[in-house]
Chains A and B, each alone.
Chain A
């Protein structure tokens, strides 16, 4: 979230799309209801199904799963055509005025400039800004021959980089300025085209986008709108681009950085934000730092590659906060390797593995299926169930040598060898050794959780783990200590990365999580002095007050720079429980602690106009205090404290441009600077914008026998998966109370489809995709309706993901014991590597 849960109460308008917070985030949804009750805020719910969120909405619009970019692209077009955008914000706080390189081509045919169809990759050279000066009012672009010259040189061209001085046109008239290109890009997304693609009747669509953009009627800046989404947006082969479209809308309307605004991802677990922050991913390091690749010869060249340099119009300022990457990264290496990280050995940079390819979720299973991954440790997740294509995952596990599952229940993963369809004879042929480790449950362990609002909150254990159950960190510590002992004794090819890991916990076999939190915060390893006065600010050994003091010379250590400030010399900030809210805006500055720097709304400098005065005086977040010569606020200013508004420092301090990106230049996203509508891999229709390039051109398909895709002539129905408020993932089917509330799996199907197939509610039906068959009772409902897609009737159905083959009902054989992900395809978004579970093709049969 750019903002936070409580902050939703400050909004005037909510677009809830790709998410169902009433059902999946009911406690957080109270703030949406508060905005409704106290501010007369409106909710627009856009979803393939009429959900319990839709029931509270002022307007519900049924969309075909996977056509969100078409919907949002049309919204951008409408906002521009009807003068419903924030002009001053747009010119000064976004890259709307930046001029893009000559040769850049929009994807009228579905492809941006630079596509190599043989390799299936893009050369992104033209996805860049043009170097230059103020071109305001000069529509004739100067010749860019000078810029083309380097590429003509014989020596291999250096990787394209952003120019330090960007050409710009503050009148936004230049044909190659970002604003004009964006306008041109979405001019194709007319309400008529959107209707043909999404299935939303034109009048309804216009009503929805008119309602949303009404907050910026005639450019008035007082009102604020928020966009709220969840995995209904991420689980597509173009998921990242959907979210980018939302970000563009919020920049265009001037809603980012403002109370009640922003782009707000609702995370599905209590600590999924924390998992991401700590880099539970193959392609990032803690605090969203980049991972080393085989091309990084040493620390210096790695830091040169990953530290951005500012790229902006020359009269403007850009703080470019990621220019501190060396300080963040070296402090991380000091936290990882302690005294073994020295200046001479590049602070242990060579101990880090180099990531040479995609190691994301679906690749793990593909590699296991191909015999490359021999074993798996599954903690805190049910591997067979959570990803796509359950059949493939079960068959991959059959080929593994071993599997360790740390759980509190016997789950589908640890019981994969007992999945339905595996006979007793076949069980005897499965040679995977399964180790089941009893772990502690959520109420039996302490530690911090980071919620969607980036609040890092400490929780205490309620009861000790029962019997032989152990805390996760104790299990991990034991494994680590024993592996280290083996390396000590036996040596090995390269023992240094293991032997040199810093393990400075008081009880090494039982690391305390508060000590881990202190390690994340970081401490001074030498006396730190103020640059100006020369006075010692932090003594050696003391906890750091925040990331501003991190150094790139090895005198500080910090496990995760964005968490620096969470456990300072003043003590644990994440255990704070102050309920004061002086501004009344739900900031609660003394309740737990939020990264970064206890800031509750990111980019909050953008909540003020150029002079540093809030757009809405009634919702004051931060402001320029002329007398004091610095920024003040109800929230912690997300800005250089003493930067005078006249200096024109950009409010988006994490971007090298200093402004928000409507146009994402080189290196930001895989498939193009502006989002383009692509169809899901399995879709009932060709892409109506460019039938020759229907899908995301960068999506790769696996070749295993399980990676099959349905022919739309045979599989005609669009299916999506979802969660219910009564159940929590694959977990609560072991809890009698939750089972009582939702006792059985079901499939929601439209009345019209039921009539066509002779299905009545409660009848058993099969839902069949190219990959598997799911069996459950039919839930015949009018909350899903047939849609007209380009003149053809298309049905959508939905099914909850919770049930599997292990649980109270499953064990009693009261249901068909089929996991929902038997149906879903293992194709992923090329940016975030998230599989496409929301929108694939099936057929329905009576059982």
Chain B
């Protein structure tokens, strides 16, 4: 959908606030997930499913409240439940909404070989264009968060769009709208960072979480989904959130130096060819010498 739609500031006959008012889409957008106020109600899971038109699938009880082990090609938003015992013996039930992080430096995009199968919008949203997807699955190896998932039926890869279709018409993503506790917020990256930092400070100063902090990993140049964590030093506790995510070196190497080298080799080959052509001219077909009769050339 177009990114050039106009922001709403007033709506006739509409009670309450105007969705998206005050959001200037020239800025980078950001989703804030405050895991310390998440109650694991899964309203975001259902909202995501309903907005994106996916139907339910069969699940099995897995010794957890968690709906399924990982996100799926048709289940983009999953609360990960983790029981954690703190050093003082007290219990924690860590609940983290897992979804695409919309990296500033997206590994999926870096890894993708298909023209325009993955795009990054000016507002920061990283979006898959399934029409151009060739189903190679390289994006899956490129992602440090294990997010893109392959659909065996469509033979294409899918993931959260940050509700690009909603955001582009001035609405907040479906998960944000459904959240009952205000654990999810949506706004500009600047605002969300400030809000996250304020909350993290409060957790440190008031609630006794000395290591509370904001998760906005620099390894991928920051993300457009950021977390407030009680324990920012150990993000792995929250269902395997990587401590220092990077685009895998294989992808970096392949899409960086190797690609450059490859290109160099290719261009070098061409240049060599051109030089050879200029230096030696075209290969001429040698006239067939008449045989002198004894089978030897003169």
A residues near B (Cβ < 8 Å) are 22-23, 26-27, 29-30, 33-34, 36-37, 40, 50, 52-56, 58, 60, 577, 579, 724-726, 736-737, 739-744, 746, 761-762, 777-783
Contact = CB atoms under 8 A, between A and B. Distances in A.
Given A29-B181, A33-B183, A55-B95, A23 B41 contact: yes
A34 B37 CA distance: 10
B16 interface: yes
A26 B62 CA distance: 24
Contacts, number: 108
Interface string B31-63: 000001101111101100110000111111111
Interface string B161-183: 00000000000000000001111
Contacts of B92: 55
B202 interface: yes
B187 to A, nearest CB: 16
Contact of A54 (B57, B59, B67, B91): B91
Contacts of A26: 39, 41, 43, 180-181
Nearest to A777: B61
Interface of B: 15-16, 36-37, 39-43, 45-46, 49-50, 55-65, 67, 83, 85, 90-95, 180-183, 199, 202, 206-208
Given A30-B182, A36-B37, A782 B83 contact: yes
A783 B56 contact: no
B180 A743 contact: no
- For B39, B49, B58, B180, the residue with the greatest tally of chain A CB atoms inside 10 Å of its CB is B39
Nearest to A725: B41
B230 to A, nearest CB: 10
A54 B95 CA distance: 12
A587 B59 CA distance: 43
Given A33-B181, A725-B41, A781-B83, A743 B91 contact: no
A791 to B, nearest CB: 20
A52 B181 contact: no
A34 B95 CA distance: 19
A53 B91 contact: no
B85 A782 contact: yes
A597 B239 CA distance: 50
A844 to B, nearest CB: 16
Nearest to A40: B206
B37 A37 contact: yes
A744 B60 contact: yes
A52 B95 contact: yes
B202 A743 contact: no
A762 B63 CA distance: 6
A799 to B, nearest CB: 13
Contacts of B40: 22, 52, 55, 725
A832 B49 CA distance: 42
8 contacts: A30-B180, A30-B182, A36-B37, A40-B202, A52-B95, A724-B65, A725-B40, A742-B61
Contacts of A27: 180
Contacts of B15: 577, 579
A246 B50 CA distance: 42
Contacts of B63: 761-762, 778-781
Contacts of B39: 22-23, 26, 29, 52-53, 55-56, 725
A579 B15 CA distance: 8
Contacts of B180: 26-27, 29-30
Nearest to B15: A577
Given A739-B56, A743-B58, A783 B37 contact: no
A37 B42 contact: no
Given A725-B39, A737-B46, A762 B91 contact: no
Nearest to B50: A737
A52 B65 CA distance: 10
A739 B46 CA distance: 12
Nearest to B62: A762
Contacts of A744: 60-61
A391 to B, nearest CB: 25
B182 A740 contact: no
Contacts of A746: 61
Contacts of B56: 736-737, 739-740
Given A737-B56, A762-B61, 7 more contacts: A26-B180, A55-B40, A577-B15, A736-B55, A737-B50, A742-B61, A782-B83
Contacts of A30: 180-182
A740 B202 contact: no
B291 to A, nearest CB: 85
A266 B63 CA distance: 29
B149 to A, nearest CB: 17
Contacts of B42: 725-726, 741
A782 B91 contact: yes
A172 to B, nearest CB: 36
Contact of A741 (B45, B55, B83): B45
Contacts of A22: 39-41, 181
A741 B46 contact: yes
Given A26-B41, A50-B93, A56-B37, A740 B57 contact: yes
A783 B83 contact: yes
Nearest to B183: A33
Contacts of B65: 724, 726, 742
A56 B50 CA distance: 28
B83 A740 contact: no
Contacts of A56: 36-37, 39
A223 to B, nearest CB: 15
Contact of B59 (A55, A740, A781): A740
Nearest to B67: A741
Contacts of A778: 63
A743 B181 contact: no
Contacts of B61: 742-744, 746, 762, 777, 779
